[in-house]
Chains A and B, each alone.
Chain A
Amino acid sequence: MTVSQANPDKRDPAAAHHPAGVGPQGPVHETDSQAEPLVVDRYTVLARVNHWITAISFVLLVLSGLALFYPALYFLTGLFGGGENARAIHPWLGIILVIVFFGLFLRFWRYNLWERNDSVWLSRIRDVLGARDDDLPELGKYNAGQKIVFWSMAVLLLVSLVTGLVIWDQYFYQYTSIDQKRLAVLAHAIAAIVMICVWIMHVHGAAWVRGTVRGMTRGNVTGGWAWRYHRRWLRDLVAGKDEEHHTGATPAE
């Protein structure tokens, strides 16, 4: 994979000219230009496409779902062509979301397994929020916050899928009792509210930690970003110890 062109961060043009690290085809590589820092691949094209389909379907689900939950937001059904269409489209968007999220799940679950360092990181959440990242343990590809987002989304989507099928009257009305449908619609609403909160934290984390979003747009991050936030992941990449290399998968997916 070829590497980024212009570097947006030109605070120190003198920091330059180092020989290539792992090589131009590897996950860690340096650019031709002297001013540009080390660049590390983080997400493949397929992973990014997968992520953004997930993101779009999630946002559409939130808009149509909130419209049917809060009367003050009922006007949002206009985005879908009216209340009837919003009601009809919402469950299909849910099916799409579950399928594409499952794609993300298969890609990322191994990197989201909980480790001892994650508990340490979490116990020092004040340092995290205070941007004192030097005081935090070295982390793999994801920190505890990201892992919590991953697992809570996985569990809550499963809850939403099951409860959503129970209240999808058009196709599944006869399979459950009204009492079950009442509990399902309550659980569906609660799961959705928690997911929206988790999603806000996800977006906030990505926006607040500068240089994160480019990982999901251009697919790579700077070496300094990897060093600061996911140092063990960077060390493993440099050492060629990335699991994906051994399993033959694409680098740093």
Chain B
Amino acid sequence: MTFQFVLPPPPTTDVKPRMSDADLIQRSASTVTPPAKRLTEVAKLIDVSKCIGCKACQAACLEWNDLHEEIGVNTGVYDNPPDLTPASLTVMRFTEWVNPETKNLEWLIRKDGCMHCSDPGCLKACPAPGAIVQYSNGIVDFVHENCIGCGYCVRGCPFNIPRISQVDHKAYKCTLCSDRVAVGQGPACAKACPTQAIVFGTKEEMKKHADTRIADLKSRGYKNAGLYDPPGVNGTHVMYVLHHADQPQLYHGLPKNPTISPVVELWKGLVKYAGLGAIGAVAVFGALHHLVKGGNRVPHEDEEKAKQLAEGERV
């Protein structure tokens, strides 16, 4: 295969970042003016069939982001740490699966982490202005100085990705190395991957590359090989090549058709507007009733009646 994605070496001179607030297409709890000129959409393609489970991506992620995972315990499987954490923004998920057709044991290894949805549920759920942003190249990023630690992004996410730190009470997830991408580099995990199971480029390039990979897998008997770019969230900027694309759940519960939960849509949609309407209607009714009727006053006769009653008369 001649098509290779070799990421450029780090620059040796100062490079002006190519991503800024001017490139935002969505900003949580606020509106942005869409940029006139959009950046080219980027994507990370993870070819599960090429992954050897070495965890170089995990190590590179910790190193680049200067994060430090706590020493954990062996839970009996290769997953380490056993789940995403505020420090481990990516985790290898190992699944042992016996293919009922071939009776072969297949070791399905999926690199879990933020999918950078085109329709990000985290951003939709976030109440803090500017805590979650989406750049026109597709990267969804958390801006920690604006994050209030409410955990609404956890409810919004269809992939169960964000984690709230119990230390600083901020939400953490993969940034797609937005700081590296801004200066023309690829994500640290892609740079570290020894088998090029993780590649990075424009979304168009990645889809084309995925097609060659899928054709190769099909020629080797994986008739259901395919690309995971779920339309329920308008596609993602982290995509998988799966040998069993018809059953993504096999890969440690990768959702088959992820969408933002209808409960979240209701909470952030209808309830918000109906609530405003209900509160407004009650307030307006009260004010109008008070204005039109005037106060409900006790007439003098009633004070007299009360006195007569207190004096023991039958009233």
Which residues of A are interface residues toward B (Cβ below 8 A)?
9, 11-12, 15, 18-22, 28, 30, 37-38, 40, 67-71, 74, 77, 82-84, 86-88, 129-131, 133, 167, 169-170, 173, 178-179, 181-183, 185-186, 189-190, 193-194, 196-197, 200-201, 203-204, 207-211, 222-228, 234-235, 238
Contact = CB atoms under 8 A, between A and B. Distances in A.
Interface residues of B, number: 51
Contacts of A179: 261, 263
Given A87-B148, A131-B293, A200-B279, A193 B271 contact: yes
Nearest to B129: A74
A182 B128 contact: no
A30 B306 CA distance: 11
Contacts, number: 172
Contact of A83 (B30, B128, B267, B303): B128
A83 B148 contact: yes
A88 B267 CA distance: 21
A170 to B, nearest CB: 7
A88 B282 CA distance: 30
A70 B128 CA distance: 10
Interface in B138-176: 146, 148-152, 154-155, 160, 164, 166, 169
A169 B151 contact: yes
Contact of B267 (A182, A228, A235): A182
Interface stretch (B8-16, B210-218, B283-291): B283-291
Contacts of A70: 272, 276
6 contacts: A86-B148, A178-B160, A181-B154, A189-B267, A189-B275, A211-B298
A223 B127 contact: no
Contacts of B152: 185
Contacts of A234: 306, 309
Q: Which label, helix, strand, loop or mixed, suits the secondary structure of the B interface?
A: helix
B72 interface: no
Given A19-B311, A30-B307, A167 B151 contact: yes
Given A68-B127, A133-B296, A224 B306 contact: yes
A130 B296 CA distance: 9
Nearest to A82: B148
Contacts of B278: 193-194, 197
Given A197-B282, A207-B290, A208-B290, A228 B154 contact: no
B277 to A, nearest CB: 10
A1 to B, nearest CB: 16
Q: Which of A15, A82, A182, A204 has the most CB of B within 10 A?
A: A182
B297 A208 contact: no
B286 A15 contact: no
A223 to B, nearest CB: 3
Interface string B203-247: 000000000000000000000000000000000000000000000
A189 B155 contact: no
Contact of B29 (A19, A74, A223): A74
B306 A227 contact: yes
A190 B283 CA distance: 17
Contacts of A88: 149, 169
B279 A224 contact: no
B264 interface: yes
Nearest to B287: A204
Contact of B155 (A30, A178, A207, A211): A178
Question: What 9 pairs between A and B have smallest CB-CB spacing?
Answer: A21-B310, A223-B306, A224-B303, A204-B286, A71-B29, A83-B148, A224-B302, A193-B275, A169-B151
B129 A71 contact: yes
Contacts of B305: 224, 227
A21 B311 contact: yes
B309 A74 contact: no
Contact of A181 (B128, B155, B169, B286): B155
Given A21-B307, A193-B275, A234-B309, 17 more contacts: A12-B300, A19-B311, A38-B306, A68-B150, A69-B275, A71-B127, A74-B29, A84-B148, A131-B293, A169-B151, A178-B154, A178-B155, A209-B295, A223-B303, A224-B298, A225-B298, A227-B305
B76 interface: no
A153 to B, nearest CB: 15
A203 B286 CA distance: 9
Contacts of B310: 18, 20-22, 28, 30, 38, 223, 238
A183 B263 contact: yes
Contacts of B279: 193, 196-197, 200
